Structure 1
Amino acid sequence: MPSNTRKDVKFSNKNEIKSIKSKTKEFLCDRKNANCLVDIISLSESEEEEVILACIRAFYNIFSNLITHGSMYLERIPTTKDDVEDLSSEEQYRCWLRERYSDVSQRMLELITHQLSTVQELALCTLMKFVAAEGQNPLRKLSEKHLAFPAVLFEKLLLTLLSEEIELRPLIVRFQEFLEYDDVRYYAMKIAHKVLKEKPNHEQLDIYHGNVYALLEQLSLPATDEEKLINFMTKMPDTNASLKINTLRDQKKLFTSLWLEFLRKRLPTSLYKKVLVILHDKVMPYMTSPLLLSDFLTESYNIGGAVSLLALNGLFMLIHTYNLDYPDFYKKLYALFEPNVFHVKYRARFFHLADLFLTSTHLPAYLVAAFAKRLSRLALTVPPCGLLIILPFIYNLLIRHPSCRVLIHRPDTTKGEFTLLENTLQNHYHHEVAMWARKIEQPFPKLEFPLADVLDLTTDQMIEKEMKKKIKEVPVTFEAPYGLLGNKEHRLQDYWALE
């Protein structure tokens, strides 16, 4: 864009912003200037960021003032044209304001899917301020037991966030601050659950499911022993009656139903893995009964590969904390110890969990010995970075279970018996691997080696570490070489052309 054109656009934007501010003041000063609001709504169709942001701020200034002062309040909402004609001029003006409020709300919902994040965020926050204002100052007469929460506006907002066409995860993360309110969280879960149930389980809606997951990930319930919830954005009815919205038990039921409905859907593999990662700490603590996840987790555990690795934590949590009976757990865990486990993204997580599962000293010796032998076989094929996980892992198993030390190499091993093959690794080319292999034959300490120090170790890190070492002695010859193949007169030069 030429510099003159850019300057013209900037100058035009300044004039429009100035006009928006002026029209906002005029509207608030005198209702004779009501058409100023229509002008601002028209200006909000602009494609310029500064103009759109100015319009959103103007909408907030105007309608927060109108809602707070009850300027749009009507005891009876007209449903037909004749009903409107029967109203007084004051009531007709209020009806007109409500229509413009509806237009503005619709425009703000459109801006939530705008390409610019600044516009999206301001539109979202402004709409939530409208929700809060309506909740404190209802636009119509309510009964004593009726909730003041503006569910219609909020449902439109949430359905926009749960778009099937546009990925809105960053905006949903921003929405998390509003989910701290008990009433907002309740209606968000209720609406999301209703919409999820309407979608066929077999239908693949990757963007939609991604947005729903982003919302679910932000949900958490208060860590309190109090059954009654009191943190509300909107005004509660003047009654001590126990409602679903203000009881922790009912919100947990809704949270559980929502998650179970989501897990029935056809999720893409990447999202499936993300779900498995958070189940144990972000979902189970808030469910009415975490055992309801047992079918989902056992099916995931049986899939194999990375999915099985990620299902480990949730499944173990059900077994250890919630008394799930799953006798094949260690059998399936044993089957996951394969060479490819050292090359997956979740390697560190897997070995951390496997170490956790084998921590108990009450496990039978034959079970621990089986894992130690499995690992020792893998040690013959994995790279050094994997060996530096395997050997400390076996070392810790032998510390916990002294009865398994019979597996350490014995010269008189009879046919059919098995040892840890540590003698093979004592001559390994990498000095740290050889050191660990020799360490197994030395007296064992009482304290275990912290596996966390080696779980994330990579081959690149090992090479970098070796490269940074200062070598004090020349390892091959004390005479400095003249080149790769000797000097120019050397006979090897006749057989090689390094060009």
Structure 2
Amino acid sequence: MPAATTKAAKRKRSAKTDAPRKRRNKSESGSDDDMADETSVQDRILLLEGQILESKKHYNNIVELLEMAKKSAAKDGEANDDDDDDDDDDESAQLAAAVALCRVFMRLLAAGSLNLAHSMSDKEVVVVRWLKDRMAEYEAELVALVAGKSGDDAAATALTLAMRLLQAQGQAQRKEAAAAVGAEDVYVFPQAFLTSVVRSLLLAGVKLDQEAAEGLADEFVEKYAGEMSDVQFYTFNAVSTVLADLSKGEGEGEADRAETTIAINAASQGALYLLSLLDDVPSLSKDFKTFLVNPPPAKRSHALYSVAKHRKMAQDAWLAVLQRVALSNDKSLRKRALGIASTVIAPWFARPELMLDFLTDCYDAGGATSLLALSGLYYLIRERNVDYPAFFRKLYSLLDAELLHSKHRARFFRLMDSFLASSHLPVQMVASFIKRLARLCLFAPPSAVVSVVPWIYNMLKKHPQCTFMIHRVPRTADERAALARDGLADPFSLAEKDPMETGAVDSCLWELVQLQSHYHPNVATIAKIVSEQFTKQAYNVEDFFDHSYQSMLEAEFGKEVRKTPVVEFQIPKRIFLPHGEAVAPAADTADTGGEQPEDQLLVKLWDFA
């Protein structure tokens, strides 16, 4: 059907099935006609399918089915109730035609009708090539449906049809290749078609909402990539190919650059989510048992049975994704990648140190991004012995006022507890971390303070060399005289960035003494642990990380009042007292000549007597 056809022409029905009908209102008895019309379309589709499978002379019916499958349920312009009904009918007919075509091509593939042979005549070769062109046209339509051309329901159906057709293609191509080389153990996988399907999955977020796009990825992984070893292997390769192809289009003209940018951002987000679902890393070749294209390769030396090659494919795919994430300005995308860096991404890498550039860039970005990059960077330091000389200096710079207000505070303290656990760390460095956190507690919310103080207690137990910071007294007579005369200036420098040069080792934890007078009773109570004997081995800081404003407030409300407090007060008649009612000092009266100044206008207006 020509591309310039109007909507009315697209909606016309074949004269072989029924005549044009007049549109009726919902109140009329036209619903029966609508049901009959929809049934007639379904019958027409089944008739065309049956004729194709009966005889080659009906192959042209494929063109009519393709036209039905290409009808989009999305219409431009204003919509009304009747248009909604027609949209539903068109979508139903579209999916029915797509399903029928899938059955047709699967049977043609199984029968070998799309395989070329040397014994074929020129006419038969033309027919086979024509069928392959129509199948390619159908594949393109399925890919468009998966990308969200007609909505999420049609996308899910098209994904199932595409994978069934892919399976049939793989088995047919194997037979054709085996006949060509005269061997039965040839394994062929339709990787090009799978790459197109994966591309549609990654770009589904352009036309569909995020929830629907992620739902498609969930279904793809649950049914295929997560279960079938061959699909997973070639999916990794497809992700790398799609991101590389999209990156090549960035240098095009200004008109297409904005559209390309949107596609790249959507593909990066889709690829990150899709690969994050593939978290089952194989360890042995015998783990590869299930294949979409059967029978599986006969030789165990095939790449699909190699754990090293499988992980290499995954590593390349993740590197492509991390490269796009690093170039993206989307901070939320970076945080999602960093959140799974050490648990999902790193296990796929045969060389995890390849992630170092991405992690260090995120670590140097500051803020919450640096906090999330800590776990991945620490994984490389611990597991791969990666050298990062400025690690502790950068870690010290993350201790700022925003840290104790961050939602990632608990995660940061868990990691820092591991970083500072070694007894071989210099005492100057440990003292700097303890002192800086103690200073930040003076400006921190109560929910953060009750987490920091037990953590400081544990650090003092792990590093006894720092315990002199709890109570520092002058040792000589000159020091005592200077302290009585001039007081004591804190030698700690909060602005110093190097934890080895802050002077914290010469300071004391006077901040914790101030916290013992905190307005919140829980903070005041927990701060007193440093003034008591250190008989407790260590606190379980996990018990304090869950505290928040709400939990602490509910705990206060839940306390039983043992004794009702005595309160004495008098309700004032005025918020602002007139000057005549105020008791003025004698000096003030003398300065004004014994006269009271006139009341301000604010005092006159706020009269509640």
**TM category, shorter:** 0.7 to 0.9
Letter in 1 for 2:231: V
Name the structure 1 match of 2:520. 430
Name the structure 1 match of 2:41. 16
Once superposed, which parts of structure 1, at least 4 consecutive aligned residues long, lie more than 6 Å away?
491-495
Structure 1 residues 242-391: aligned runs within 5 Å: 242-265=301-324, 266-268=327-329, 269-391=331-453
CA 285–46 in structure 1, closer or farther in 2 if over 3 Å, else same: closer
The answer to whether structure 1 residue 130 and structure 2 residue 165 are counterparts is: yes
Q: Are the counterparts in 2 of residues 256 and 287 from structure 1 also a CA contact under 8 Å?
A: yes
- 1:117: how far off? 1.3
- 1:315: how far off? 0.8
The answer to whether structure 1 residue 443 and structure 2 residue 479 are counterparts is: no
Structure 2 residue corresponding to 1:162, chosen from 171, 192, 202: 202
Larger radius of gyration: 2
Structure 2 residue corresponding to 1:55, chosen from 94, 97, 108: 97
Name the structure 2 match of 1:104. 138
Structure 2 residue corresponding to 1:151, chosen from 182, 191, 196: 191
- 1:339: how far off? 0.5
CA 333–154 in structure 1, closer or farther in 2 if over 3 Å, else same: same
- Summarize deviations over 1:409-433 as a string: whole Å, max 9, x none: 3465865442222221111111111
CA 226–188 in structure 1, closer or farther in 2 if over 3 Å, else same: closer
- Summarize deviations over 1:386-427 as a string: whole Å, max 9, x none: 112211211221232333222223465865442222221111
CA 295–109 in structure 1, closer or farther in 2 if over 3 Å, else same: closer
CA 247–494 in structure 1, closer or farther in 2 if over 3 Å, else same: same
- Summarize deviations over 1:180-231 as a string: whole Å, max 9, x none: 3222222222233234344259875322322232333233464323388444
Structure 1 residue corresponding to 2:109, chosen from 49, 67, 75: 67
CA 439–208 in structure 1, closer or farther in 2 if over 3 Å, else same: same
Name the structure 2 match of 1:81. none
Name the structure 1 match of 2:233. 186
- Summarize deviations over 1:156-194 as a string: whole Å, max 9, x none: 222333339446443223322322322222222223323
Letter in 2 for 1:86: D
Q: What is the distance in 1 between the residues matched to 2:109 and 2:408?
A: 52
- 1:262: how far off? 3.3
Q: Are the counterparts in 2 of residues 74 and 140 from structure 1 also a CA contact under 8 Å?
A: no
Q: Are the counterparts in 1 of residues 231 and 292 from structure 2 also a CA contact under 8 Å?
A: yes
Q: What is the distance in 2 between the residues matched to 1:2 and 1:358?
A: 76
Q: Are the counterparts in 2 of residues 56 and 122 from structure 1 also a CA contact under 8 Å?
A: no
CA 260–93 in structure 1, closer or farther in 2 if over 3 Å, else same: closer
Structure 2 residue corresponding to 1:41, chosen from 54, 66, 73: 66
CA 98–197 in structure 1, closer or farther in 2 if over 3 Å, else same: closer
Structure 1 residues 411-426: aligned runs within 5 Å: 412=474, 415=488, 416=491, 417-420=506-509, 421-426=511-516
- Summarize deviations over 1:247-282 as a string: whole Å, max 9, x none: 111222232233333333312322122222211111
Structure 2 residue corresponding to 1:86, chosen from 118, 122, 139: 122
User: Bigger relative contact order, structure 1 or 2, given CA contacts below 8 A and separation 6+?
Assistant: 1
CA 119–456 in structure 1, closer or farther in 2 if over 3 Å, else same: farther
Unpaired segments ≥5 residues, structure 2: 1-23, 74-87, 252-260, 480-487, 492-505, 582-602
SS at match of 2:144: helix
Letter in 1 for 2:158: A
- RMSD of equivalent CA atoms: 3.7
Letter in 1 for 2:328: L
Structure 2 residue corresponding to 1:398, chosen from 460, 465, 488: 460
- 1:29: how far off? 5.6
Name the structure 2 match of 1:80. none
CA 225–99 in structure 1, closer or farther in 2 if over 3 Å, else same: closer
Q: What is the distance in 2 between the residues matched to 1:348 and 1:13?
A: 59
- Summarize deviations over 1:279-306 as a string: whole Å, max 9, x none: 1111111111111222222232222222
- Summarize deviations over 1:124-151 as a string: whole Å, max 9, x none: 1210111122223337610447532112
Q: Are the counterparts in 1 of residues 156 and 216 from structure 2 also a CA contact under 8 Å?
A: yes
CA 193–471 in structure 1, closer or farther in 2 if over 3 Å, else same: same
- 1:56: how far off? 3.4
- After TM superposition, the score normalised by the length of structure 2 is 0.70
Q: What is the distance in 2 between the residues matched to 1:345 and 1:405?
A: 30
Which segment is superposed worse, 109-118 or 41-50? 41-50
Structure 1 residue corresponding to 2:156, chosen from 121, 135, 144: 121
- Summarize deviations over 1:93-127 as a string: whole Å, max 9, x none: 65554443333222211111225211111111210
Q: Are the counterparts in 2 of residues 183 and 232 from structure 1 also a CA contact under 8 Å?
A: yes
CA 345–75 in structure 1, closer or farther in 2 if over 3 Å, else same: farther
Name the structure 2 match of 1:174. 219
CA 109–9 in structure 1, closer or farther in 2 if over 3 Å, else same: farther
- 1:332: how far off? 1.2
Q: What is the distance in 1 between the residues matched to 2:433 and 2:164?
A: 58
Letter in 2 for 1:43: M
Q: Are the counterparts in 1 of residues 285 and 305 from structure 2 also a CA contact under 8 Å?
A: no
CA 307–66 in structure 1, closer or farther in 2 if over 3 Å, else same: same
CA 140–225 in structure 1, closer or farther in 2 if over 3 Å, else same: closer
SS at match of 1:356: helix
Letter in 2 for 1:182: S
Structure 1 residue corresponding to 2:176, chosen from 121, 141, 146: 141
Letter in 2 for 1:218: L
Which segment is superposed worse, 309-318 or 168-177? 168-177
- After TM superposition, the score normalised by the length of structure 1 is 0.84
Letter in 1 for 2:359: L
Which segment is superposed worse, 370-379 or 345-354? 345-354
